[in-house]
Amino acid sequence: MQRLEEVTDPRVIDGRKIADRIEAEVKAEVERVKRKGVEPKLATILVGEHPPSKLYVKLKHWACRRVGIASEDHKYPRETPQDEIINLIHTLNERSDVNGILVQLPMPDHVDERDVMSAIAPEKDVDGFHPLNMGRMLIGREGFVPCTPEGIIRALEEYKVDVTGKNVVVVGHSNVVGKPISIMLINRNATVKTCHVYTKNLEEQTREAEILIVATGVKGLIKKEMVREGAIVFDVGITWIDGTVHGDVEFEEVLEKASLISPVPGGVGPLTIAVLMEHTLRAAKLQHNLL
Amino acid sequence: MQRLEEVTDPRVIDGRKIADRIEAEVKAEVERVKRKGVEPKLATILVGEHPPSKLYVKLKHWACRRVGIASEDHKYPRETPQDEIINLIHTLNERSDVNGILVQLPMPDHVDERDVMSAIAPEKDVDGFHPLNMGRMLIGREGFVPCTPEGIIRALEEYKVDVTGKNVVVVGHSNVVGKPISIMLINRNATVKTCHVYTKNLEEQTREAEILIVATGVKGLIKKEMVREGAIVFDVGITWIDGTVHGDVEFEEVLEKASLISPVPGGVGPLTIAVLMEHTLRAAKLQHNLL
């Protein structure tokens, strides 16, 4: 990976650079609210020892430190019963010093993630997965929306892409990325096709896309011949192999056709974390009537 | 309109017939819960004098009578302030004899429908428009979902259409039909494209559809050349002209190509009302711990 070359190519979305600007804005605003006596704080919950999850949680705490948000880290062994996690969430819901609650996904198999997400107080749901926040998003009242989809929207805005009437293809229909980004783009009047593992002739479907968003976790799923000339491509996939991370898009070959493309790493990942910082700040302001 | 010919044509979805069966089931179950001392009741709210809305509310009360559900009808003048409507909803939320609350849409322009929907207690939200119910639907926990989309799903089930991997095109991206039916079909692993007024080359997009769902309110928008041979077509459009109702699909000509088509009237409309009856019964059972 020729990292330096990549980030200086104007077709490559520099997620880190956009994230830095968002974080700088958050940092300045955190300083302002601190002068008003508000100390924003994020609590994270990690269940189990999944190495990428441990890394993501660590990255979120580092981001908190960068922007001046306090954070605390709740770690539980893999076999922790769901009730215990939900009890912790209830405690964090009650604590006025905690403004945002983030449960790192995926959870172990014996836990129903939707039950856990539904336990978070909607006003502390900085990851935007509570059904009330999801539903507000669906009806076009976007508040706390999932961070990765919002990161994609921010990147589109940054590059002044007007999505109105654009043919968008989303590959992946998860609750975390595929469904929310589909809805957020429908809300912005894009024409959105949502594809997934059951879709027939995926390569024909993806070739329609003026904007292609891929969030499947299948390494290298999207090849050059599946991409339309001039397409904008967001790679939200993450596959870890021997400590290195791979996206869902064959980056080098798709770059030849794309007009804009997000790399892995350094694309959507940093944006997701920057948006999380923004949400935590907003939660703190909301809870202190500063909005 | 040769009504008799239509309903005996096996390609024409007989919404009335499916609705009759659903209502018969609801009626039998209403009798059972009444023997347990539960009297299901629906409260409707109509603001203004919009003649089709008055008709729809009347049809819903007639349906209640058919299945043995009690109903009460709250009518307000067009200029009623939003607060007053929300106050009524709060009162109905509190009343234990009212199980379901339905606000007839559209509301007058000075009212924000989303505020009104959000005021209904989620467990009495038989129309499925509360953001919490919408969000539950989005994450795949469908409970009270909007009645028209559920009616379409029921018709697909009735005709044993497996939507898995099917190319679906939804035309219209309203909160009431377009967005929820898109999500419900994504939940069922269809490949779903959501189109609307900003979509480019609509006729090319709709021709892809193995299942085409049209909910725009533009009379006769969908013509024969926009429909794929053998497509399944749902017409959710309703335009009133001189007291007669027209759909979004040019029925006679599209019938030549469709393998299955829902007429207007007599298609999705009766299903919507039958589903509403089912939801009201379910709300009553839920509130009396009979589920």
Say what the pLDDT of residue B243 is: 87
- Rounded to the nearest integer, the mean pLDDT of chain A is 96
In this prediction the pTM is 0.96
Say what the pLDDT of residue A3 is: 52
Say what the pLDDT of residue A141 is: 97
pLDDT tens, A256-272? 999 999 999 999 999 99
Report the distance separating Cα B227 and Cα B218, nearest Å: 16
Report the distance separating Cα B226 and Cα B264, nearest Å: 18
Q: Hey, what CATH topology would domain A147-269 get?
A: Rossmann fold (3.40.50)
Q: Give CATH for domain A37-124.
A: 3.40.50.10860
Residue A228 in 3-state DSSP?
Answer: coil
Contact A183 B179 (CB under 8 A): yes
pLDDT tens, A60-112? 999 999 999 999 999 999 999 999 999 999 999 999 999 999 999 999 999 99
Residues of chain A that touch chain B, judged by Cβ-Cβ distance less than 8 Å: 114, 117, 129-141, 164-165, 167, 173, 175, 178-180, 182-183, 186, 189-200, 205
- Searching chain A, which residue's CA lies closest to the CA of residue B209? A193
pLDDT tens, A24-61? 999 999 999 999 999 999 999 999 999 999 999 999 99
Minimal Cβ distance to B198: which of A117, A164, A195: A164
Probe site for chain B from A145, A166, A167, A186 (most B CB atoms < 10 A): A186
Say what the pLDDT of residue A50 is: 92
pLDDT tens, A147-165? 999 999 999 999 999 999 9
Q: Is the ipTM of this complex over 0.90?
A: yes
Helical residues (DSSP H) of A139-196, grouped into ranges? 147-158, 178-187
Report the distance separating Cα A24 and Cα A32, nearest Å: 13
For residue A27, the distance in angstroms to the closest alpha carbon of chain B comes to 31
CB B144 within 8 A of CB B186: no
Omega before residue A149 within 30° of 0, cis: no
A45, containing H or E segment: strand A41-47
Say what the pLDDT of residue A8 is: 77
Say what the pLDDT of residue B8 is: 77
Mean pLDDT by 10 residues, chain B (291 residues): 61 97 98 98 97 96 98 97 98 98 97 97 98 98 98 98 98 98 98 98 97 97 98 96 94 97 97 98 97 88
Give the angle A170-A152-B196 at the CA atoms, nearest 5°.
50
Closest CA relative to residue A15, chosen from A206, A210, A234, A215: A234
Sorted by where each begins, the domain ranges of chain B are 36-122, 147-269
Antiparallel, parallel or unpaired: β A211-214 and A167-171: parallel
Give the angle B177-B178-B182 at the CA atoms, nearest 5°.
110
> Is the sign of the CA dihedral A252, A253, A258, A264 positive or negative?
negative
Tokens 């929820």 belong to which residue?
B180
CATH superfamily of B36-122: Leucine Dehydrogenase, chain A, domain 1 (3.40.50.10860)
Say what the pLDDT of residue A243 is: 87
| Burial track A86-100 (b if 16+ CB lie within 10 A, e otherwise) | bebbeebbeeeebbb
Minimal Cβ distance to A179: which of B141, B186, B199: B186
Report the distance separating Cα B62 and Cα B76, nearest Å: 20
pLDDT tens, A159-187? 999 999 999 999 999 999 999 999 999 99
Say what the pLDDT of residue A237 is: 95
Report the distance separating Cα B56 and Cα B118, nearest Å: 22
Give strand pairing partners of B193.
A193, B169
